[in-house]
Structure 1
Amino acid sequence: MDVQERFEENRPRLRAVAYRMLGSGAEADDAVQEAWLRLNRSGTEGIDNLDAWLTTVVGRVCLDMLRSRGSRRETAWDDRDLPSAEGPETETVLADSVGLALLVVLETLTPAERLAFVLHDLFAVPFDEVAPIVGRTPDAARQLASRARRRVRAQPAERPAGREVMDAFLAASRDAEFETLLSLLDPDVRMRIDAYGRERLHTPEELRGADALARFFNGKARNAYPALIDGLIGIRVAPGGDTLLVITLTLTGGRITAFDATADPARLREIEILPL
Structure 2
Amino acid sequence: MVNDSATGAASGTGSDGVDVFEEHRPVLLGVAYRMLGRVTDAEDVVQEAWLRWSAADRAAVREPRAYLVRTTTRLAVDRLRRIRSRREAYVGPWLPEPLVTDYGHTVADGAERVMLSESVSMAVLVVLESLSPLERAVFVLREAFGLPYGEIAETLDRGEAAVRQLAARARRHVAERTPRFEVDPEQRRKLTERFLAAATEGDLDGLLAVLAPDARLVGDGGGRAKAPLRTITGADKVARFLAAISRTPIPDPEIAPLELNGGPALLATSGGRPFAVFALDVADGLVRSVYIVSNPEKLAHLAR
Shared fold (TM-score greater than 0.5)?
A: yes
Partner of 2:160: 138
SS of corresponding position for 1:250: strand
Distance in structure 2 (CA, Å) of the matches to 1:108 and 1:130: 20
Contact kept, 8 Å, 1:15 with 1:28, in 2: the verdict is: yes
Task: Please tell me whether residue 5 in structure 1 is matched to residue 31 in structure 2.
Answer: no
Distance 1:234 1:135, change over 3 A: farther
Q: For 2:276, which of 250, 263, 267 is the aligned residue?
A: 250
The higher relative CO (CA closer than 8 Å, separation ≥ 6) is in 2
Contact 1:233 1:249 in 2 (8 A): no
- Give CA deviations for 1:120-142 in whole Å, capped at 9, x if unaligned: 11111111110022221122211
What residue in structure 2 maps to residue 66 of structure 1?
80
Q: Deviations over 1:134-182 (max 9, x none)?
A: 2211222111111100111111459xxxxxxx98772276xxx6x9744
Residue 256 to residue 120, structure 1, CA distance change in 2 (3 Å)? closer
TM-score, with length taken from structure 2: 0.51
State the match for 2:30 in structure 1.
Answer: 16
TM-score, scaled to structure 1 = 0.56
Alpha-carbon RMSD across the aligned residues, in angstroms, is 4.1
CA distance in 2, matches of 1:172, 1:155: 25
Q: Does 1:189 align with 2:250?
A: yes
Residue 228 of structure 1 is matched in structure 2 by 261
Secondary structure at 2:59 match in 1: coil
Q: 1:171 and 1:233, CA in 2 relative to 1: closer, same or farther beyond 3 A?
A: closer
The percentage of aligned residue pairs carrying the same residue is 33
The total of aligned residue pairs comes to: 189
Equivalent position SS for 2:250: strand
Secondary structure in structure 2 of the residue aligned to 1:105: helix
Once the two structures are overlaid, the 10-residue window that deviates more, 6-15 or 45-54, is 6-15
Letter in 2 for 1:137: G
How has the CA–CA distance of structure 1 residues 131 and 170 changed in structure 2, closer, same or farther, with 3 Å as cutoff?
same
Structure 2 residue 232 is the aligned partner of structure 1 residue 171? no
Q: Which residue of structure 1 aligns with residue 170 of structure 2?
A: 148
How far off its partner does 1:69 sit?
3.2
Letter in 2 for 1:29: E
Which consecutive unaligned segments of at least 5 residues does structure 2 have? 1-12, 86-116, 181-188, 203-242, 268-272, 279-290
Return the alpha-carbon distance in structure 2 between the equivalents of residues 107 and 256 of structure 1: 16
Superposition deviation, residue 13 in structure 1 = 1.3
Consecutive unaligned residues in structure 1, runs of 5 or more: 72-94, 159-165, 191-207, 218-223, 236-246, 268-276
User: How big is the shift at 1:57?
Assistant: 0.1
Contact 1:105/1:152 (8 A) holds in 2:
yes
Please say if residues 120 and 145 of structure 1, whose CA atoms lie closer than 8 Å, have aligned partners that are also in contact. yes
Equivalence map 1:85-164=2 (5 Å): 96=118, 99-156=121-178
Shift of 1:45: 1.3
Equivalent position SS for 1:141: helix
Measured at CA, do residues 256 and 118 of structure 1 come closer, stay the same or move farther in structure 2, by a change above 3 Å? closer
Sort the Cα spacing of 1:51 and 1:248 in 2 relative to 1 into closer, same or farther, 3 A.
farther
Counterpart of 1:51? 65
